């Protein structure tokens, strides 16, 4: 067996891949949080629950309606996104002028309620969700074995992140979004429907989380706590990247997944804390985050 | 004061005004800032609001465009009462606003800033026509909006509302802090816009500049319109105006 840096290459690349997978989820989830925070000034604590809902909707579609993975990948974000739109219109819209602590508390409460309902209905043991047959198996790359589904997760996440970045940075709709993030009052005074933009943005951010949830369903078991476990790390990612920075959240998401993977190889004891250690260091040196602008 | 205000409003030209403001009162939270603003602007007129710092000129413009929601009285634009409307609906009637702080977006390029405000009516300028007015902008299209000089930012702030088809322009101190050559350029632009049929409400501290472009001047003092002076009678009233402005 060949070795790299004193570690069997199979192990090294295996952990790198695992890191990249986690990084994909971090990136998609923190991207959604960043977009929502930018425009709504709300730290969406329900994001983890919405990611979990995405996985559950995929599972339910299969269980109760026989709808498979590919359609679920489309339908679950739409369904969960619509619940986001309703939440924004009914609840968050009332907090528009309040301190963002209120938004955090409200979405935190929502997360607890949503998780509670799912725990009540489905227990915590986890429900299986199979890998779609088209993506079963894998290929031997010589230096490692690459499961097809995992390659797909990385590819799909990366594509989604880049597409979102493109829309925000390079299109007219994106210009509205950036402008409204900076100065919603003035954008409104130009005749643009900012409240609608805000609602759709929240819905889209939530849909991103649900998309990640569907991607995750075949990898992790579908269970009510999957979001709560994930979201704590994602918040650390967001803090490191800089709250509200689009590109920052994407790059930081993937990078920290890889850092985590490498830590598992070289110093496994620290693998579950390394992201938080980095967070503390970044906060000490650059409180606005690596890509953030000082407030 | 109320009688004076009525008399002032009565002094406007006989054509039906494009903008008629009556007993406009406005608040920032609990703080009562406008106590009864009255004035008219006829179609195609350039009218200034003059007054000392803190008189309420900016607040008047904010109330007209609807950014300041806590306001009472009457604002009729083009025959429509707007006092209860949200700012985006007011803008859609055809009012373009250039805020005192210019409001150039730093996360948008110059080109993106220029095309941000959507068309609200037909008949707006083309970007080509805007570049003829402000040639500097053409050279800087891909720059970050806030990387422009102060004068260029002001041109961008004016240019971007000329595309939209708005026929009433609210300009809040467009010459503030700018070099004399730029002030001259802005002056020529306003004269040109007037020729093109735009109606303009101009807030100014610099009445020497205002005198070169305006038809009439309203004097604002402590949240009220206290006087109206026609531009052709400015010389006769110069001492009175100095008194109002404390210069
Ligand atoms: N955001 C605000 N909150 C509370 N009070 C305000 C606010 N903005 C302005 N004011 C107050 O309202 C009054 C009118 O202010 P406004 O900005 O309309 O004056 P202005 O005539 O435009 O003055 P300037 O020539 O300095 O621009 C002032 O007393 C000011 O202190
Ligand atoms: Mg002012």
Q: What is the pLDDT along chain B (247 residues), one digit of tens a residue?
A: 343 444 444 454 567 899 999 999 999 999 999 999 999 999 999 999 999 999 999 999 999 999 999 999 999 999 999 999 999 999 999 999 999 999 999 999 999 999 999 999 998 999 999 999 999 999 999 999 999 999 999 999 999 999 999 999 999 999 999 999 999 999 999 999 999 999 999 999 888 888 999 999 999 999 999 999 999 998 888 888 888 888 7
Report the separation in Å between the CA atom of B98 and the middle of ligand 2, taken as the mean of its atom positions. Answer: 12
In this prediction, residue B89 carries a pLDDT of 97
Neighbours of B226 (CB within 10 A): 16
DSSP H helices, B196-229, are: 207-213
Distance, CA of A192 to chain centre: 29
Report the separation in Å between the CA atom of B61 and the middle of ligand 2, taken as the mean of its atom positions. Answer: 9
In this prediction, residue B25 carries a pLDDT of 97
Which of A178, A179, A191 comes nearest B120 by C-beta? Answer: A191
Which of A178, A189, A193 comes nearest B67 by C-beta? Answer: A189
Q: Which domain holds residue A199?
A: 3-120+171-285
Which of A172, A176, A182 comes nearest B106 by C-beta? Answer: A182
Tokens of B153: 């930012």
Ligand 1 atom at shortest distance from the alpha carbon of B223: 14
Nearest of B226, B229, B175, B168 to residue B200 by alpha carbon: B168
The set of residues, in sequence order, having a beta carbon less than 8 Å from that of B147 and lying 6+ positions away, is B140
The list of chain A residues with pLDDT below 70 reads 1-2, 4, 293-295
Question: Angle at the Cα of B62 (from B11 to B23), degrees rounded to 5?
Answer: 40
Q: How many domains does chain A have?
A: 1
Residue A278 placed within a domain: yes
CATH superfamily assigned to domain B3-245: P-loop containing nucleotide triphosphate hydrolases (3.40.50.300)
Cα–Cα dist A275/A65, whole Å: 40
Nearest residue by C-alpha to atom 19 in ligand 1: B54
Residue A60 placed within a domain: yes
The answer to whether the CB atoms of B108 and A179 lie below 8 A apart is yes
Nearest residue by C-alpha to atom 17 in ligand 1: B58
Q: Are B32 and B25 in contact (CB under 8 A)?
A: yes
In this prediction, residue B9 carries a pLDDT of 46
Cβ-count burial of A5 within 10 angstroms (0-12 exposed, 13-18 middle, 19+ buried)? exposed
Report the separation in Å between the CA atom of A276 and the middle of ligand 1, taken as the mean of its atom positions. Answer: 46
* Sign of torsion over alpha carbons A242, A247, A252, A253: positive
Tokens of B73: 């009285």
Cα–Cα dist B118/B27, whole Å: 29
Residues of chain A found within 8 Å of residue B116, distances taken between Cβ atoms: 175-176, 179, 187, 190
CA distance A169 to chain B (A): 9
Neighbours of A75 (CB within 10 A): 17
The answer to whether the CB atoms of B87 and A182 lie below 8 A apart is no
A147: Cα within 13 Å, side-chain hemisphere: 15
The answer to whether the CB atoms of B116 and A183 lie below 8 A apart is no
Report the separation in Å between the CA atom of B57 and the middle of ligand 2, taken as the mean of its atom positions. Answer: 6
Q: Are A24 and A158 in contact (CB under 8 A)?
A: yes
Is the minimum CB–CB distance between B142 and chain A shorter than 8 Å?
no
Is the minimum CB–CB distance between B158 and chain A shorter than 8 Å?
no
The answer to whether the CB atoms of A187 and B116 lie below 8 A apart is yes
User: If you measure CA to CA, which chain B residue comes closest to A178?
Assistant: B107
Radius of gyration (C-alpha) of chain A in whole angstroms: 19
The set of residues, in sequence order, having a beta carbon less than 8 Å from that of A281 and lying 6+ positions away, is none
In this prediction, residue B14 carries a pLDDT of 62
Where are the extended beta strands (E) located within chain B?
19-28, 31-41, 46-50, 71-77, 80-81, 95-98, 168-172, 199-204, 216-221, 224-230
The answer to whether the CB atoms of A181 and B107 lie below 8 A apart is yes
Is the minimum CB–CB distance between A172 and chain B shorter than 8 Å?
yes
Residue A54 placed within a domain: yes
Cα–Cα dist A49/B26, whole Å: 44
Neighbours of B122 (CB within 10 A): 6
Query: Ligand 1: which of B50, B57, B101 to mutate, judged by most atoms within 8 Å of the beta carbon?
Result: B57
ipTM of the complex: 0.91
Cα–Cα dist B25/B16, whole Å: 23
The answer to whether the CB atoms of B87 and A178 lie below 8 A apart is no
**pTM value > 0.80:** yes
């Amino acid at each position: 067996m060949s070795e790299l840096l004193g570690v069997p290459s199979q192990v090294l690349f295996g952990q790198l891949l695992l890191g990249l997978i986690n990084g994909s989820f971090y990136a998609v989830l923190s991207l959604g949080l960043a977009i929502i925070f930018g425009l709504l000034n709300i730290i969406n604590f329900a994001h983890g629950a919405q990611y979990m809902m995405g996985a559950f909707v995929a599972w339910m579609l299969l269980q109760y309606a026989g709808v498979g993975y590919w359609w679920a990948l489309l339908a679950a974000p739409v369904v969960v996104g619509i619940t986001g739109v309703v939440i924004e219109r009914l609840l968050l819209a009332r907090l528009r002028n309040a301190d963002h602590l209120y938004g955090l508390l409200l979405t935190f409460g929502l997360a607890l309620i949503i998780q509670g309902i799912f725990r009540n209905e489905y227990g915590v043991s986890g429900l299986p969700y199979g890998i779609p047959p088209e993506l079963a198996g894998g290929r031997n790359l010589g230096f490692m074995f690459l499961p097809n589904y995992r390659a797909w997760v990385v590819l799909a996440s990366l594509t989604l992140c880049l597409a979102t970045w493109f829309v925000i940075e390079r299109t007219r709709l994106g210009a509205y979004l950036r402008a409204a993030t900076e100065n919603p009052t003035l954008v409104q005074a130009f005749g643009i429907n900012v409240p609608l933009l805000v609602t759709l943005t929240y819905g889209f951010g939530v849909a991103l989380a649900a998309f990640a949830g569907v991607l995750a369903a075949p990898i992790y078991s579908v269970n009510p706590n999957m979001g709560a476990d994930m979201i704590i790390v994602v918040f650390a990612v967001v803090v490191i990247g800089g709250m509200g920075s689009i590109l920052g959240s994407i790059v930081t998401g993937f990078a920290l997944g890889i850092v985590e993977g490498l830590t598992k190889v070289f110093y496994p004891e620290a693998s579950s804390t390394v992201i938080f250690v980095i967070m503390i260091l970044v906060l000490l040196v650059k409180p606005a985050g690596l890509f953030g602008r000082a407030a | 004061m109320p009688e004076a205000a009525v008399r002032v409003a009565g002094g406007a030209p006989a054509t039906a005004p494009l903008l008629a403001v009556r007993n406009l009162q406005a608040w920032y939270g609990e703080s009562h800032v406008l106590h009864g603003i009255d004035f008219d602007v006829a179609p195609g007129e350039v009218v200034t609001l003059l007054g000392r710092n803190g008189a309420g000129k900016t607040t008047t413009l904010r109330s007209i465009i609807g950014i300041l929601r806590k306001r009472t009285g009457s604002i009729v634009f083009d025959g429509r009462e707007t006092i209860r409307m949200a700012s985006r609906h007011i803008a859609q009637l055809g009012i373009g606003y250039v805020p005192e702080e210019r409001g150039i977006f730093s996360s948008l390029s110059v080109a993106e800033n220029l095309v941000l405000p959507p068309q609200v009516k037909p008949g707006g300028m083309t970007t080509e026509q805007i570049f003829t007015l402000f040639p500097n902008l053409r050279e800087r299209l891909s720059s970050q909006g806030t990387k422009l000089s102060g004068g260029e930012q002001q041109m961008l702030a004016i240019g971007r509302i000329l595309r939209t088809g708005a026929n009433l322009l609210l300009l809040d101190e467009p010459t503030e802090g700018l070099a004399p050559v730029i002030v001259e350029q802005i002056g020529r632009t306003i004269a040109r816009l007037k020729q093109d049929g735009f109606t303009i409400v101009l807030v100014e501290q610099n009445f020497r500049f205002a005198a070169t472009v305006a038809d009439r001047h309203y004097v604002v003092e402590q949240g009220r319109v206290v006087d109206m002076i026609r531009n052709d009678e400015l010389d006769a009233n110069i001492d009175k105006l100095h008194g109002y402005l404390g210069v």
